[in-house]
Amino acid sequence: MARTKVKNDTTVLDYINHLQNSGRESAANTYGWILKGFARRRGKEIDELTWADFKPNAVKEHLAKLKNNQTRLMFLSAARGFMKYLRDDAIADEEYIIYSRMCDALQAIRIKSSPMTIYRKALTMDELAAVLESISDEFLYNAVVVHFYLGNRPVELSHPFSKEKIDLEELRTKPPEPKRIVDFDNGLISIITAKTKAQRIIPIHDKVHDNFKYFFDHHHIILRWSRPREWLTKHLKKLSIYVTSKTARYTFETLMTARGLDDRFIKYWLGHTSDIANVYRDFTILIRDISTEINQKHFILELI
């Protein structure tokens, strides 16, 4: 059987331009710089790099030549990002299959030694991408996705959650009784805010549904700790990733504010004091508007 040939002249420079046009200037600059080095080692210019330059063995050989783990992680993140860009843009089935296989092959590459040390209140997109790339444990990976998606205080996920329906229609007629609920059917989570003990309901985007499902199916891993609120910080520290208990919150607030989103929705999402309850009496409309304003523009969707 003849081997399938992919005729695609999309280059790395097209991917870098896509990142810039999508508002990811920091990633575009970082990836552009690191992929120029890859191009030089292959005797090419960056606008000559195509999918064929990123076969797993070529990527592994380049990783072996890089001197520190943070550079390795950034290069691997850039290579995976380029291949995902090609896969998501593919129209022909044959191209989609090949790019999907290459995505899987690049995803399987692991950097074993201690990846990085980060002391930051808020992570940049590139730093968060590097954190996610460095995690091989499935539960820890999903825990990071969930915490950075929600921007929650760790203590807010340190209690049992029931899996049941959240009835938004019922909330129209009477004040909500604060409950910890995750509703996978409707894509909602009800969190009890640590400071005020008030309930806030956050929509779960379809793209992170499986991450939430895995996290809450294995939630007992955190709950059985003597101090569950410290579980995430302790386990990231084992990877030399030093973050505070509020890193996810600072990161969410910083990155979403930089995208010019409505401050009222950001405050509600994080559980800060907000007048949004006086504006929205109907939870159905509130969730709809939050989904439009925040859910569809969430930074984590670009990294998983």
Lowest mean pLDDT among 48-57, 145-154, 245-254: 245-254
Mean pLDDT of the chain: 84
The answer regarding whether domain 137-302 maps to CATH 1.10.443 reads yes
The token pair that represents 101 in the structure block: 């296989």
pLDDT tops 60 at residue 1:
no
What angle do the packed helices 263-270 and 247-258 form, to 10 degrees? 160
Sequence letter at residue 75:
F
What percent of the chain has pLDDT above 70? 89
Q: Are strands 199-203 and 162-163 parallel, antiparallel or unpaired?
A: unpaired
Going through 103-216 in order, the beta strands assigned E by DSSP cover 162-163, 181-183, 188-192, 199-203
With CA atoms as reference, report the closest residue to 36 among 22, 64, 57, 16.
16
The strand pair at 162-163 and 188-192 is best described as unpaired
What pLDDT is attached to residue 296? 79
For the chain, where do the domains classified as CATH 1.10.443 start and end? 137-302
Q: Where does the pLDDT of residue 89 fall: very low under 50, low under 70, confident under 90, or very high at 90 and above?
A: confident
Residue with tokens 């205080």: 153
Q: What are phi and psi of 192, to 5 degrees?
A: -95, 115
Q: Which of 240, 283, 289 is nearest to 266 (CA)?
A: 289
Q: Answer whether 69's CB lies under 8 Å from 111's CB.
A: yes
Is 178's pLDDT higher than 60? yes
Q: What is the pLDDT of residue 115?
A: 47
CB crowding 75-95: b at 16 or more within 10 Å, else e: bbbbbbbbbbbbbeebeeeeb
CA dist., res. 190 & res. 216, Å (int): 13
Contact 34, 71 (CB under 8 A): yes
Cβ atoms of residues 73 and 63 within 8 Å: no
Q: Rounded to the nearest 10 degrees, how much is the dihedral formed by the CA atoms of 126, 128, 132, 133?
A: 20
Report the chain's terminal Cα–Cα distance, integer Å: 35
Of the pLDDT bands very low, low, confident and very high (cuts 50, 70, 90), residue 216 is very high
Per-residue burial over 126-156, b if 16 or more Cβ lie within 10 Å, else e, is bbbbbbbbbbeeebbbbbbbbbbbbbbbbeb
Q: Tens of pLDDT along 103-157? A: 999 988 887 655 455 555 788 888 888 788 778 889 999 999 999 999 998 889 9
